[in-house]
Structure 1
Amino acid sequence: MGWWASWSSGSGQDPEDRSTPPSDSSHTEEKPKNRWLWPSSTDSDRAARAASSQTGVDWNSKLNAFDWKQFTEPRNLIPNVLLTGGILFVVYVHQRFLRRVPEATAISPADFRKRSLLGQVTSVGDGDNFRLYHTPGGRLVGWGWLPWMKVPTDKKELKDRTIHIRLAGIDAPELSHFGRPAQPYAHEAHQWLTSYLLNRRVRAHIHRVDQYKRVIATVYVRNMLDFPPFRRRDVSLEMLKRGLATIYEAKSGVEFGGEENERAYRAAEQDAKQRGRGLWKDKNFESPREYKIRMGIEYPLDGGHQNKNSEGTLSTLTRWLTPSRDAPRKRGQKER
């Protein structure tokens, strides 16, 4: 009965209870729970704060500072250079080759004698000039077959959207304008040029702008049915060969597009004269230059003034509306 005495003496431990081992002083310290192999975020934050407090680093300025060194690294520098270069190249190609020129006044002076315009002929006004709708890039970029890249056919849509082109180096017979009669072979030249160019794609090598805001250009056209196929033909040269135009002769403003073109044009005109083609069938034919002088449209090559009996309608109206400079002086002399 000794065991009962020990239990009843006030001991708080059941002598028969063996579920809990007797406490030992070496096991009184508790072990940390959920311990991982790497420190937690709170531990790293505490370590960072402790380090900053010891070294005195201002973390606000450190985090807000911009590190420019990252742009000098090859992994960042090379892609940026390639991307910027690609964008600049696309912009250059668009401005140089794919930007549409709506009319003659939009052509940069730096482009003359250096650039050509590809487009479709929308109308033919005379035997040596027509209207061109600029289509940069042609069919390769979608002109003619993409729905949003169609050449307009309505005159209202074409207004202020075409370039007035004058063929370089030639002068075709004049049609009737402002009450003046048409020249012989003027309709033949106009009909031939209309059938040869209307609604066709041509390439115009631009030279300069004349006094009528027209772009003087050497125009080339290709025809699939030509021999050999798609042979490039100079429109001005073809008209001279057929006797439908003459060499452009004027006191100023003559443009052939180069000495080589001028020699070819003069040889073609001389050959048409000898063969009696077109307007050269008539030995008494009045050239477009002579016709303009007689009608008062232009002055002779020697710079002399035209005869009053041969003044045209336009020059007569100008003389009536513009008083002579000598009129006040003569009037004063008579009063004296």
Structure 2
Amino acid sequence: MRWPSWLTKPSTSAKDDTSGEAVVSAQTSDLSKPPVSSSDASNNNAWSPFVSLNVVVPSLVLTATTLGFLRFYKTYLRRIPNTSHIKPELYRRRSLFGYVTSVGDGDNFRLFHTPGGRLAGWGWLPWRRVKGMKQLQNKTIHIRLAGVDAPECAHFGRPAQPYSAEALSWLRSYIANRYVRAYIHRRDQYDRVVATVSVRRWLLFRRDVSLEMLNRGLATVYEAKFGSEFGDKEQAYRDAEARAKKAKIGMWAEPGLVGRILGEKKQELESPRAYKTRMAAKESNRKK
């Protein structure tokens, strides 16, 4: 039986209204969202490979490793050519390992800085052999031994002190053309670096050079109102000087039996500090 057409229209219109409302609702929801441009979509697609964890994590690790290596190199492997290149913050915190190229006096010498030592190739790689290297004067650090004062050699028109030649000869034989470690304290008025210096003897043992000089009676403990540097070894140095005096060795020696029989008298010892003070006063009087 066929239904009249006027009976079926309401249901059809209701269906159309419902679908129309759905369409309008969908269009309304779409209008509430910001439109996505094609350029934004392409940018998102372009950056997506770089924000992946597989890319970000290795990049961060590589950057941190590179920066760490550069800091390590600047701190421990970069060579310091001379005194003026030592940063103030390094004093009393760092030590310098290097090769002694020359010894100019009984208590100072020239050091060619070799950071990293033999592990970095110094001494055995062809391009890192210091011995025989030309024009080292501007590539070395002038080191002054801390805590001691050796007899003065003849220079600046001043006569040599007794035992100055012995002190210079011993120091040359002990550290010249050898690798030493210098624990730097400060820079003095003569552009030298005051340092406690140790040298390896018999492969395993390190010897304090200043202490060895005092033990042999070839230097005195450094005495000055200002500028004295001992590290933490002042008492050890004073004890060593006292032992040398008691044993009468080096500059503290007295004439032997034959000398006393022949009437030889003990020389009046003038300390290096007293000698320099006397010479300075004498030169000052000359200028007047």
AA at the equivalent of 1:199: N
State the partner residue of 1:279. Answer: 251
3-state secondary structure, aligned to 1:89: helix
Aligned to 2:167: 189
TM (norm. structure 2) is 0.79
| Unaligned 5+ runs, structure 2 | 1-34, 255-265
Match of 1:105 among 80, 84, 88: 84
Q: Which amino acid aligns with 1:206?
A: I
Deviation at 1:152, TM superposition (A): 5.1
Q: Which SS does the other structure have where 2:230 is aligned?
A: coil
Report the equivalent of 2:13: none
Q: CA deviation at 1:288?
A: 0.4
The match for 2:12 is none
Query: How many positions carry a matched residue from both structures?
Result: 243
Match of 1:246 in 2: 220
Q: Does 1:268 align with 2:261?
A: no
Q: What is the identity, as a one-letter code, of the residue corresponding to 2:205?
A: R
TM-score, normalization: structure 1?
Answer: 0.68
For 1:133, the equivalent position in structure 2 comes to 112
Runs of 4+ deviating beyond 4 Å: 64-72
Answer whether contact 2:216 2:250 (CA < 8 A) is retained.
yes
Corresponding residue for 1:76? 55
Q: Which amino acid aligns with 2:235?
A: R
2:199 is aligned with 1:199: no
Q: Is 1:169 equivalent to 2:147 in the alignment?
A: yes
Q: Residues 59, 125 of structure 1: CA spacing in aligned structure 2 closer, same or farther, 3 A cutoff?
A: same
2:200 pairs with 197, 210, 222, which one? 222
User: For residues 66 and 179 of structure 1, what CA distance do their matches in structure 2 show?
Assistant: 83
Q: Distance in 1 between matches of 2:129 and 2:121?
A: 9
> Between the two proteins, what is the percent identity of the paired residues?
56
Q: Greater helix percent: which structure?
A: 2
- Displacement of 1:175 in angstroms is 0.2
The 5-angstrom pairing of residues 58-73 of structure 1 reads 58-60=37-39, 62-64=41-43, 70-73=49-52
Please name the residue that 1:153 is paired with: 132
* CA offsets 1:124-164 (integer angstroms, 9 cap, x no match): 0000000000000011011111122121535x520210000
**One-letter amino acid matched to 2:242:** Q
From the superposition, tell whether residues 316 and 103 of structure 1 become closer, same or farther in structure 2 (CA, over 3 Å): farther
Query: What one-letter code is carried by the residue in structure 2 that aligns with 1:220?
Result: S
**Contact in 2 for aligned 1:152/1:158 (Cα 8 Å):** no
| Contact kept? 2:131, 2:177, Cα under 8 Å | no
Aligned counterparts of 2:269 and 2:46: Cα–Cα separation in 1: 84
Q: Which has the larger radius of gyration?
A: 1
Q: Is the 8 A contact 1:173 1:245 kept in 2?
A: yes
